[in-house]
Amino acid sequence: MYSKKKDIRWTVSVALMAAIVVLLANTPLGMIQLPIIKATTVHIPVIIGAVLLGPLAGAILGATFGVCSIVSNTMTPTLLSFAFSPFLSTTGAAGAVKAIWIAVGCRILIGVAAGWIWILLKKIKVPAPAGLAITGFLGSMVNTVCVMGSIYFLFAQQYAEAKEVAVSAVFGLVMGTVTAAGIPEAIAAAILVSAIGFALLKALPRIMPEKKGSKGTKEETAEVSA
């Protein structure tokens, strides 16, 4: 009975976090329009959800983010939206599959990576604020590196055409995006995940109390307070 209640709480919590992802993805705060690409803050609740609820929840939230990205890039396309929307593919079915990987697959990896990074940092007893900042930074960089790396390897020719440059210049442009947009996004994620995540971790035992006498409750509270 207790396990069933815990599963229901987990499911409801994932649904609530997914609603936040959808809300952010459909406001200017979630998908910030830049000249040729959309910068994002939607990965932040994905990372926080992965920390609070585990890698599986992170994968679900990442997939939600990915679907929202497809919708956003289809409805309000930019020069690079062909790399995020299968409906705007310029290379047929193969391009559509590649776009799904970039929009959804790379975003699933954010949640999975963030969840396991947090688990690893807890195991080696990194203090919670520092662990959350590291998880936020690395989770955000997974998003940037996977997305921009996939664009480079899968859409270099189309990227060059969209930017009106030689294919040989694509690597430099991709690295420029990683540096100019990815690193500031990662720093912002580190700060926000640390602040919001720490507050939620302290509140979590009151929101989702553990079974009386269960192992680890006191230890986890002590870790969060560290």
> Does the pTM of the predicted model rise above 0.75?
yes
Is residue 213 very low, low, confident or very high in pLDDT (cuts 50, 70, 90)?
Answer: very low
Instruction: Specify the CATH number for 2-225; select among 3.20.20.140, 2.40.260.10, 1.20.1260.10, 1.10.1760.20.
Output: 1.10.1760.20
DSSP 33: E
Predicted pLDDT of residue 218? 46
* Chain CA centroid to CA 108, Å: 7
What mean pLDDT do residues 71-99 have? Answer: 93
Q: Which tens digits make up the pLDDT trace of 127-166?
A: 999 999 999 999 999 999 999 999 999 999 999 998 889 9
Predicted pLDDT of residue 28? 75
* Phi, psi of 147, deg, nearest 5: -65, -55
How far apart, in Å, are the Cα atoms of 187 and each of 15, 26, 29, 175, 193? 27, 23, 16, 17, 10
